Structure 1
Amino acid sequence: MKLGAAIRRHTAAIRAMLVFTVILGIAYPLLMTGIAQLAFKDKANGSLIKDASGKVVGSSLLCQQYVDKNGDALAQYFQARPSAASDSSNSSDPGCNYAFSGGSNRGTTDPQLKQTIQGRIDDYAKAYGVDPAKVPEDAVTASGSGMDPGISVANANDQAASVAKARGVDVSVVQKAIKDHTDGRSLGFLGEEYVNVVTLNRDLDKQHPVTAQS
């Protein structure tokens, strides 16, 4: 009798495990996936960005580096904030490398971090003609993930004149594009407004592509 009772208990446990595996491991994920595809298809699939031919060229959730083969910033594009997500063994890797998401892990008192930030301040002030003391913080510091596609409105406004000149359009055109790609605070009060650099640059490429003349 004791052996039979033990077998029944184990059999009941196995049945429960199989039932909950089907419910929680198969049915529930499929239900959530179905709801996501019906209600939030774009977001559920990664908020992908496609070119005119339908080819996926990025995601509005992930930063991109707009630089030439030498790693120098391309003037016709708004630049994302610095990214520490790079292959440390490859000095030519500029960041936004999705295989190396993360920050630099350097503390605020680290001499190398201070030197790096000061260099970024000097480069930014020179590139966009702003007072070094007024360089936006997000323009010289990396995000924790290294994948942030957003920059502050102040940062975008500083870059507007340079981008407009490189594209051969009036700065007001670029400023309007900035407003069109500015996302407000979450729930109206959390965080700060930010400009999505990836979608902004993509829209500028569609509406005001760089020509040989410009």
Structure 2
Amino acid sequence: MAGRPKIYDEEVALDKAIEVFWKKGYEVASAEDLLRAMGIGKGSFYLAYKNGKQELFEKSLQRFFYKYFSEFLNGLKKTDNPLPSIKAFYYQMSDEISMPRINGCYFSNAMVQVEKVEVKDQAAAVMIKIANIFAEVLIVAKQKGIIDFDIPNDILYLYLLNLWSGLNVVRQIEKDPAKVKRLIDEHFKMIR
């Protein structure tokens, strides 16, 4: 039994849902907001996302990771010195016109805004995955003698997570991107 064929592009629809969730937050985004943005009807929505908004959000987390991080992280694993790319990741958080600057980090927002523990856990798992990859490539670069740091290997990912989550608050308080970039530079004096 094949069922009805999809008459929409699922990736495009997910990207539109991400825009709504990113601007409004999970709890505030209504089904009507999502359906309108995605350009699909209720029938198609519940056929694709049987558990409704929560399932859509969980898939949006996966899509966001794939769209914005997958290629970047794979590239990090192939470079001898990943430090400049990792710094650039943090610098873009301070950029005045970047979406993370305007709307906050998609994953961090989920950690703060969403009440459902399983959704928070999924967002946390993605952030930890990214921080672990950052830590792994930095440790390899240290072993090759390309960079150095005194942070214990087993908590390096937490150091990077702390900077990431802290920047999500600081950039809402400090409006001068130059100061936020200086703060990032201070953190990276520990990794040289």
TM-score (norm 1): 0.25
- Which has the larger share of helix? 2
- Which has the larger share of strand? 1
TM-score (norm 2): 0.28
Greater RCO between the two (CA within 8 Å, min separation 6)? Answer: 2
